[in-house]
Each structure stands twice: as C-alpha cells, then as structure tokens.
Amino acid sequence: MRQVSIGALALLLAAIPAGARAPDGAEPGLDADTAARVTALLGRTLRMPETARYGRLRAGRAGAFCGEVETTNRMGQPVGPRHFVADLDAGIAGILPDGPELRNPGSPQDYAAMQRILTLYAANCAA
C-alpha cells in the first residue's frame, strides 16, 4: 500500500512543470523574481536577514505583498513567525508591530513607521 501511494505522488510531482512551482515560502501564482524582491526589501529591516525563513508569501488586496517571517532576536534565538507587509512600489516593508513595540517606540519617527506598516497591513492583508 505504501509503495502505491509513493508512486502516485511521484507521478503527480513529475506532471507539474518546474516553472509552475512556487518559490520557497510563496503561494502558487507568485513568481520567483517578485518573491526575491519582497524578501530583499524586508531583509533590509531585519537585524539578521540571513537567518530569516519566509512563509505564506502572497499578493495583497491593494498591491502590496503579505506573508510571515521567522527570524532571530539579537541573541540569536528564534522569535517565531511574525506577519509582515511589503510595498515594492513605495519601497516600504516591515513586520507587523505588536503591543509592546507600539507602547514603547524608540522615537516619534519609529512610531510613525509602525503606524504606516499597520495601515498598509490592514489595507492588504487583514481578514
């Protein structure tokens, strides 16, 4: 029984053209170039972009891109997946801020940037 199901899976995977597969972390329909541009833009905002793992990357409702990123904190410990939004046309990307970040911003400019990300996320990604 197990050999039959593995064989059937192999036939299904062989039938899918290589170009039709989504890039890592991206949903079908998002091309590899766009996914790379989104992750590069968000990577500029991360402390250690080389450790980032992306998931659920997809096009948003109003032209931006949504997804999840798991990265590490400054001590190198994983922090778990966090939602993010990226607008390639505007050159804006950021992780959705959580409560403590909003209550204790580093500066008024940091608070304004967090509000911009929240607004962009609401327009593109929120259910």
Q: Over the stretch 24-44, which tens digit does the pLDDT of each residue have?
A: 667 777 899 999 999 999 999
* Per-residue model confidence as pLDDT tens digits over 68-110: 999 987 788 888 899 999 999 999 999 999 888 889 999 999 9
Between 59 and 102, residue with greater pLDDT? 59
Give CA angle at 123 (83, 38), nearest 5°.
50
* Cβ proximity of 85 and 56 under 8 Å: no
Which three-class secondary structure state does DSSP give residue 86?
Answer: strand
Give the integer Cα–Cα distance in Å for 84 and 103: 19
Report pTM: 0.76
Q: Which pLDDT score is estimated for 24?
A: 61
What is the average per-residue pLDDT within 57-68? 96
Residue 73 CA, distance from chain mean position: 17
